[in-house]
Chain A
């Protein structure tokens, strides 16, 4: 059986990727019975269960956002006032700046940047990085393990809470992701079934059908979860095409460097923007999980074949 056409999220993924439970994400309408594990692991969650879990996750995020905001915003405001005072002192010291003073200034600026504040212009009008929307987004980056890092907790309490929050949130999100993946799988499976039926009528061989369905899966997913969002990001954030695609890949693989963050610059965003981005991350993650496990399957097939060939000698 071609493992290529069935991006099952079995052993490698479930055993290692942060508690995401066994996902069976099959693009084929027929069930893979050759693997006994997939039988026992097929938990096709019903729509209601998925919605309930989704609601729980949303509530969990709101709780996290509120706590983060309560912990981090005071510190942020105090840092802002300190920066203003420092700048005024510097300007009043007209006399030549020597190296040590410059170093001190640099250290202060760097510390401010580390705290997430850009000490330019009138800092009192700066957009807070810990307002509710941003905190929500931050909580999302924690439980998806993306962890951009452009914003991160500075206070002791924030860090401790972050750890506990992650310990509970990551498995929780894992379950949600499993549900979403299942739903995606069934939707795609139904669509593909129709396509496959037409191909069967044309007497195309089974292997060709599977290859075609895989290609359709990859193409469709790329357009929906990579190309389209990249265009949107390019338009709204003002990134180049490459940077937008780079951001999409880095985010959906949960690497999350944080050099590019959607909603992270000081641009005026539509209110709906960040929630839509978060939703895109959710579904896109399921898609990428499938893609990555497909690549993993290919690697395993290749390694098996090379082992067999080596044994033949």
Chain B
């Protein structure tokens, strides 16, 4: 039930944000395209002041998140899939920032959305973590019964869980990213770590390259990865703290 609420909540955020942000984005893109073509038509000797204006225009476009390459402007960052991912980045407190609300209403909504979404997300992560823990303990019990190992089993199982988690959440995903995003392995790993620790700089974000096509399942799988990866990481840290105490 919690999962449904969670998915619903994020979906709600995505929908609202899309409704709020998309018009402004379309408008900005249209303005920019117009400027672009005007500049090209006046292509007699671009002097330094004209260059300044050009660069300023590019910076403005970049800050509002539109890539000006080729004939068209790259749109669709506030489409549903994009807004969904943005909502996730808000309530997990990752907050990439490559996409952020520019309308006043979008920002107000973002504040309220985050204030309720973050505790919700935390509760969910806690539940996932508990489930994972139960699974690990279950395995340990099973092993103890089958092999009569007693205490050794628990430590073995915990290391196994740690290694599996490491593989699944930190070491293997960069391979996927290399394939889909064209990043190097180190960049993929950097991205994975920065995301799962919720630092989320936004210098690398999946699914943002206009020159690449992504399969339909891509962003959803990544969202799941973020969720479970964060829960696993939290568990690991909890274990470390308990161990230190």
Contacts and interface: CB of A to CB of B under 8 A. Distances in A.
Given A145-B199, A299-B119, A249 B111 contact: yes
A39 interface: no
Contact of B230 (A16, A152, A246, A293): A16
Contact of B234 (A17, A141, A146): A17
Interface string A168-211: 00110000000000000000000000000000000000000000
A107 B59 contact: no
A254 B198 contact: yes
Contacts of A118: 59
A17 B122 contact: yes
A19 B120 CA distance: 18
The secondary-structure label for the interface of chain A is helix
Given A14-B238, A109-B59, A152 B201 contact: yes
Interface in A58-97: 87, 90-91, 94-97
A257 B55 contact: no
Interface string B44-72: 11111001101110110010000111100
A103 interface: yes
Contact of A253 (B47, B67, B93, B193): B93
A110 B62 contact: yes
Interface in B156-179: none
Contacts of B139: none
Interface residues of B, number: 69
B200 A102 contact: no
Contacts of B230: 16
Nearest to A95: B45
B51 A91 contact: yes
Nearest to A294: B119
B140 interface: no
A292 interface: yes
B59 A149 contact: no
Nearest to B86: A257
Interface string B188-204: 01100110011111110
Contact of A299 (B51, B54, B120, B235): B120
A295 B115 contact: yes
Nearest to A143: B199
A163 B190 contact: yes
B193 A120 contact: no
B123 A171 contact: no
A16 B118 CA distance: 11
Contacts of A295: 115-116, 119
A16 B125 contact: yes
A106 B237 CA distance: 44
Contacts of B14: none
B58 to A, nearest CB: 5
B43 A254 contact: no
B111 A246 contact: yes
Given A18-B237, A120-B56, A149 B119 contact: no
Contacts of B43: 96-98
Interface stretch (B18-26, B96-104, B143-151): B96-104
Given A91-B51, A145-B197, A249 B238 contact: no
B56 A170 contact: no
Given A12-B126, A91-B48, A257 B58 contact: no
A300 B126 CA distance: 13
B241 A21 contact: yes
Interface string B123-136: 10110011000000
A245 interface: yes
B137 to A, nearest CB: 15
A113 B68 CA distance: 14
A229 interface: no
B153 interface: no
A12 B55 contact: no
Contacts of A94: 45-46
Nearest to B46: A97
A257 B115 contact: no
Counting from the closest, the 7 A-B pairs by CB-CB distance are A296-B119, A255-B95, A147-B199, A257-B97, A149-B201, A258-B97, A149-B202
Interface of B: 39-40, 43-48, 51-52, 54-56, 58-59, 62, 67-70, 89-90, 93-98, 100, 102, 104, 107-108, 110-111, 114-116, 118-120, 122-123, 125-126, 129-130, 186-187, 189-190, 193-194, 197-203, 230-231, 233-235, 237-238, 240-241
21 contacts: A16-B234, A19-B234, A19-B240, A109-B58, A109-B59, A113-B59, A120-B59, A149-B97, A149-B201, A156-B186, A170-B197, A246-B107, A253-B93, A257-B96, A258-B202, A259-B100, A292-B115, A295-B116, A295-B119, A296-B120, A299-B119
